[in-house]
Amino acid sequence: MSHSDNPPIREPFKVAEYFIDRNLTEGRGDSKAVLWQEQQLTYHQVSMLVNRAANALADGGVARGDRVLLLLLDSPAFVAAFWGAIKLGAVPVPVNTLLRAEDYEFMLRDSGARGLVVDERLLGRIRPALDHLTAHRAKGEGRWGPLEVVWVVSETFAGRTGGGHHGLEPSEENVYQSFDQECAASSPHSTAAPTHRNDPAFWLYTSGSTGRPKAAIHLHHNMVDCLESYARQVLGITSGDRTLSTSKLYFAYGLGNALYFPFGVGASTVLLAERPTPEAIFEIIRRTRPTVFFAVPALYAAMLQAAESGSVDLSSVRLVVSAGEGLPVPLWERFHARFGISILDGIGSTEMLHMFISNCPGDAFAGSSGRLVPGYEARIVDEQGQSLASGQMGELWIRGASAACSYWNRPELSHATFRGEWTVTGDKFVQDERGYFWHHGRTDDMLKVSGLWVSPVEIESALLAHPSVLECAVVGATDSDGLTKPKAFVVLKDAAREPLSHEEELAAFLRTQLPGYKVPRWIVLIDALPRTATGKIQRFKLRQTSS
């Protein structure tokens, strides 16, 4: 199907029908939709699973507009609960599976979630939050305050129609409900709620370097926008593709990669519940033969290091995509030399849902974030919001149909981020005369050294060109005179040598690569960089150690 022939968005617009039921009406019911562990689910099976989940949520009291928090690993249960809630007209809120109990309590309170669907392997993480909500509920509220029902998903959930392990201890059966059993007892038929293109479809929580998480509200048409602009026109994804994403479904990047991109064209998705180690990734690629692979720079670095000790077969993969943070030139070059594949680096955000700038097949430049994805516009502005000329560094503002409408219950942050049709990204960029964008880090990561702006990305790329450096990060630190100087934290490929010799060697190397004021005043060797669950470097933690 060509881009111009895609089904138009007509009111009322039911996005679950677009991504689930349309695969049946267009004859793909028997096509493989989900590969998970040793199981394969067809689109017909996925459709029944989604309908059962929608009915189970409704029978539990979830109504149109209610929020349902999802604390789930990448699995058929996530697929069922996410699309089932949307089909019901409710609003699923997928959340990070690696947070603390107090974070989950905040999200439950902030979202006002009526229901929670949680994997039994993650119940221990959120149980203290549930216990705290129980102890501090207001008069007239239910067991967990505004939260009324908790469904627990068993590790083996795959939409069986009866029986099976429900994942609950006998003492918990009067507290929690079994998602497995409720789905098994529900009808496999469901009619989508009469939603509209601008109705809220789902929320995604996003955090900055400080402060509480904030929920970006995405609408029913936003997933279609990203499918049509990036997945079809940049990746050229078709029903013959098979996607594998190491970024999880609860992230904006992973949600597109592994769920609505493949479902939007009738392709297959490979879901990986466990942690994506290089060894696990190589094995699942060998076994499932994906054609489109998505990861973050940190994992590509780890894959390269792991591949040094043996042969790796990536012959099935036609496209390799990177996002989450800038992809350093040396890493791009080493990956290309080792595997013969040009990584397609790009940039997106939770607020914009997916990529808005990207390299393209046959048009990939190492170090560049690429050019604008069709359907998006960009401005690079100064501190007063005035547009800058080509070649000047400034903050990136982006405009496109996939933008979230606002943050939930955060009017001041919404006003600061969503400026009319423009979304403020907080990223520093330069656009060259050919239209390529070059990332220079986050606005709050930039350093002013000797009165001149310094991009940490430039110093990091120089460090990564040294053959002994695996990873690095540069932040600002204050010297004895109170002046800001670059400070580098470096992870070595081989830690067997004396640290002092490496520090001296790296400093000497950088002096041949950079102007003197950009050479780090301090080089600190560490075992690992602090990272978020998305793989982004937590520079604020490094700054804290430098203060």
Which pLDDT score, from 0 to 100, does residue 497 have? 57
Give me the CATH number covering residue 153. 3.40.50.980
Residues 167 and 229 in one domain: no
Tell me the DSSP string of 46-82: HHHHHHHHHHHHHHTT--TT-EEEEE--SSHHHHHHH
Coil, helix or strand for 357?
strand
Sheet hosting strand 484-492, strand order edge to edge: 469-478, 484-492, 522-525
Reading the block at residue 420, the tokens are: 């009319």
Residues 121 and 56 in one domain: yes
Coil, helix or strand for 330?
helix
Residues 312 and 328 in one domain: yes
Which pLDDT score, from 0 to 100, does residue 515 have? 85
For residues 400 and 347, what is the distance between their CA atoms, to the nearest angstrom?
A: 14
Residues 189 and 44 in one domain: yes
Which residues fall within 8 angstroms of residue 519, CB to CB, at 6 or more apart? 459, 486, 507, 510, 511
> β-pairing, 149-153 with 177-178?
parallel
Mean per-residue pLDDT over the chain, rounded? 91
Question: What are the beta bridge partners of residue 345?
Answer: 322
For residues 417 and 68, what is the distance between their CA atoms, to the nearest angstrom?
A: 26
Residues 8 and 45 in one domain: yes
- Domain assignment present for residue 91? The answer is yes
Type of residue at 20: I
Burial of 10: CB neighbours in 10 Å, binned 0-12, 13-18, 19+: exposed
First and final CA of the chain: distance in angstroms?
Answer: 57
Residues 169 and 184 in one domain: yes
Reading the block at residue 104, the tokens are: 């989950």
Residues 167 and 59 in one domain: yes
Residues 81 and 105 in one domain: yes
For residues 149 and 161, what is the distance between their CA atoms, to the nearest angstrom?
A: 22
Pick the last residue of a domain from 172, 206, 240. 206
Type of residue at 300: Y
- Domain assignment present for residue 403? The answer is no
For residues 256 and 223, what is the distance between their CA atoms, to the nearest angstrom?
A: 8
Query: Prior bond to 76 cis, omega within 30?
Result: no
| Helical axes 43-59 vs 76-88, angle rounded to 10° | 60
Residues 196 and 242 in one domain: no
Residues 193 and 234 in one domain: no
276 secondary structure, DSSP code: -
Residues 162 and 27 in one domain: yes
For residues 213 and 218, what is the distance between their CA atoms, to the nearest angstrom?
A: 16
Q: What are phi and psi of 103, to 5 degrees?
A: -65, -40
Pick the last residue of a domain from 206, 240, 269. 206
Residue tagged 């929670």 (tokens): 116
Count other C-beta atoms under 10 Å from residue 39's C-beta. Answer: 14
Give me the CATH number covering residue 542. 3.30.300.30
User: What is the domain extent for residue 268?
Assistant: 222-395+421-442
Residues 510 and 527 in one domain: yes
Q: What is the pLDDT of residues 191-235, one digit of tens each?
A: 999 999 999 999 999 875 446 889 999 999 999 999 999 999 999
Successive 10-residue mean pLDDT values, the chain, 547 residues: 53 94 98 95 98 98 97 98 98 94 94 97 96 87 89 81 54 84 96 96 79 91 97 98 97 97 98 93 96 94 88 95 90 94 96 98 95 98 93 96 97 95 95 94 81 84 92 90 88 69 88 91 93 80 81
Question: What are the beta bridge partners of residue 36?
Answer: 39, 271
**What secondary structure, in 3-state letters, does 279-317 show?**
HHHHHHHHHHCCCEEEECHHHHHHHHHHHCCCCCCCCCC
Which pLDDT score, from 0 to 100, does residue 164 have? 45
Range 307-315 contact pairs with CB under 8 angstroms and sequence separation of 24 or more: 307/278, 307/282, 307/338, 307/339, 312/282, 312/339, 313/285, 313/286, 314/285, 314/339, 314/341
Type of residue at 188: P
Reading the block at residue 69, the tokens are: 């928090």
- Domain assignment present for residue 139? The answer is yes
Sheet hosting strand 406-407, strand order edge to edge: 200-206, 214-219, 406-407
Q: How far is the CA of 420 from the CAs of 356, 373, 379, 403, 543, in angstroms?
A: 18, 20, 14, 11, 34
Question: Closest Cα partner for 133 from 124, 123, 118, 143?
Answer: 143
- Domain assignment present for residue 68? The answer is yes
- Domain assignment present for residue 163? The answer is yes
Number of domains in the chain: 3
- Domain assignment present for residue 213? The answer is no
- Domain assignment present for residue 410? The answer is no
